[in-house]
Chain A
């Protein structure tokens, strides 16, 4: 019901004009209506002004906390170039487990970005049990040999820039740890 409807429905007027009781009632309703309108106007004003604050805040957040487009584009170009060799080497749909010692970038995880760059090869996390292929991704080639020895992998293909395809088996230290730590999953595939 609208404010106008409410007011008109409560007006009790006699043929000679409104009675004193009706006049008082009318004044009270009028006052209430005015207050309601003032509060509604305030709410409306807040609602109209709020987007300016929220959108400016949003733009400032992006400006302050997101990396600049130049850095982002350079990172993506570098990643695409590194993973192109992997995509060409394996069949579409081949599954590899992803192993990296890179720190997480500020936005996005290494695995997700590797997956986007490495498609149509499927890149899963290191705990995925149904593959013996490991994609080793380290900062540069000098760390590669050390990482292979540390985790007990067998090198299959070296793509350069700290990227290599390896093989693991159940005897590798990492795999033994995985098997030991494996928890019964609540959701079975």
Chain B
């Protein structure tokens, strides 16, 4: 038993290491070091490390799931143990990293000395408020951990959705061997849903060859922890320690977020990928405006957008909404170069932003399309509804009323929604800080648009739902709203002006 647990933990660690190496090949850790020390900015070491750890875990899960998908497609690869496959991939990445360092060094020779000398000059001194918030934050993290552990112990396989949609499919793949695709036939298990989570669980089970509930629990916990690290790291970088802790406290203070995450529902992983993608967009915009190379950050943003597609079907809606948000954000960003000609601006946009985002996104799109074409099947929400029936539903006033009533009920009784309202009130009373954050601040308009468009999209899905509307709303509305929680907290904490509390900037 202990041996199996250790094997699963090793599998998890290998995924994180793979993610780190992929980011290393993109030059992400090196760039963070350079921007921190060589350029003598005040961006923090702790924030960067947290962000890097979170991104490594997410990227690692995404990449290893893709690797497992390739393994499932070939009888020859199926004979190779997953561990060997992971090991080969690690060796390949280390080789690429070595070549990259040899031929495309991010840090020039001689900079190392500068780095060491500059360390002392960039460390921030923490105030009493920072200290109080930090201690309070750690207390909240301890409480959250207690809740998560209790949920894992009392519901080891998670909630119904986790069992029927994610873990069962992992078991089908794990137990059916080469016949795994034959088991993806019934609508009850949603065979059209993307495969990141089932494949990640299956991969962890392949290490000890025992199906322990630790594997799905670890996948769920990884997304929770990554979310905390990326949110805290991003806020630490831009808004200082106090607001970073405040954001973290608010994030984990939402019991729906903690509960759904520890019940292994896919809504939390989706929420994390969405938030991480926008955090990277903000970072890339910041680097672009500072005339530093932003391309690798756009690639990482593309990877995170790819994860939204590879986690859950709702990721498609998030991608569409993010597309709208990015168009707005990019147009605001390019307006800065008012002296440049329009055609030059568009070329810059295509070459330095759109292309890198698509580069990061493309592998996930490819695998997603591959799975859609080989496995199934249309989505249960969309199939077999005539256009007339859809138009009738769109214009049916009673459906609009029912959905709005459900929203009203949620606002009245859902405490995290109260918290969101309070956050908006706080922003209105304390003021907002968009212009002080430069380009990253202007990108926040795009982020707000993405969240709003996505919410409107979900509203339309409810209108067109083939299921009993009351049942559909009751069983999914709180989960869908939780999908926006991390991104909303990040947005609110980036926007709110608490300079009167002597926070950065």
Contacts and interface: CB of A to CB of B under 8 A. Distances in A.
6 contacts: A37-B500, A43-B429, A47-B246, A52-B140, A67-B154, A92-B180
Contacts of A40: 426, 429-430
Contacts of B185: 93, 95, 122
Main secondary structure of the interface of B (DSSP, over half): helix
B163 A39 contact: no
B175 A62 contact: no
List the 7 closest pairs (A to B, CB-CB), nearest first: A51-B253, A93-B182, A92-B176, A119-B171, A66-B154, A120-B176, A55-B143
A46 B150 contact: no
Contact of A188 (B168, B183, B384): B384
Contacts of A9: none
A47 B426 contact: yes
Given A3-B430, A72-B155, A187-B383, 11 more contacts: A50-B415, A54-B253, A55-B252, A59-B147, A66-B150, A93-B185, A112-B163, A112-B168, A119-B168, A120-B180, A122-B185
A187 B250 contact: no
B114 interface: no
Contacts of B433: 2
Nearest to A122: B186
B112 interface: no
Interface in B169-220: 171-172, 175-177, 179-180, 182-183, 185-189
A51 B154 CA distance: 22
Interface in B455-505: 466-467, 497-500
B419 interface: yes
A48 B422 contact: no
Contact of B156 (A37, A73, A92): A73
Contact of A76 (B156, B176, B436): B156
A116 interface: yes
B249 to A, nearest CB: 5
Interface in A71-122: 72-73, 76, 87, 91-93, 95, 107-109, 112-113, 115-116, 119-120, 122
Contacts of B6: none
A74 B249 CA distance: 36
Interface of B: 133, 136, 139-140, 143-144, 146-147, 150-151, 153-157, 159-160, 163-164, 167-168, 171-172, 175-177, 179-180, 182-183, 185-189, 246, 249-250, 252-255, 258-259, 380, 383-385, 415-416, 419, 422-423, 425-426, 429-433, 436, 466-467, 497-500
Contacts of A113: 157, 163
Main secondary structure of the interface of A (DSSP, over half): helix
Contacts of B500: 3, 37
A45 B87 CA distance: 49
Interface of A: 1-6, 36-37, 39-40, 43-44, 46-48, 50-52, 54-59, 62-63, 66-69, 72-73, 76, 87, 91-93, 95, 107-109, 112-113, 115-116, 119-120, 122, 124-125, 128, 186-189
Contact of B380 (A2, A6, A92, A187): A187
Nearest to A2: B431
B175 A93 contact: no
A188 B497 CA distance: 53
Contacts, number: 175
Max chain A C-beta neighbours (<10 A), residue from B154, B259, B383: B154
Contacts of B183: 92-93, 119-120, 122
A46 B498 CA distance: 15
Contacts of B431: 1-6
A93 B164 CA distance: 15
A115 B467 CA distance: 23
B426 A72 contact: no
A62 B157 contact: no
A43 B420 CA distance: 11
A51 B252 contact: yes
A37 B252 CA distance: 26
B75 to A, nearest CB: 16
Contacts of B499: 2, 4
Contact of B182 (A48, A54, A92): A92
Contact of A95 (B143, B186, B250): B186
A46 B253 CA distance: 12
Given A44-B426, A57-B255, A187 B156 contact: no
A92 B167 contact: no
A119 B175 contact: yes
A46 B133 CA distance: 14
Max chain B C-beta neighbours (<10 A), residue from A68, A73, A91, A92: A92
B423 A47 contact: yes
A58 B259 contact: yes
B154 to A, nearest CB: 4
A39 to B, nearest CB: 6
A55 B155 contact: no
A180 B232 CA distance: 59
A32 B429 CA distance: 10
A30 to B, nearest CB: 13
A120 B255 CA distance: 34
Contacts of A119: 168, 171-172, 175-176, 183
B464 to A, nearest CB: 12
A3 B500 CA distance: 9
Contacts of B182: 92-93
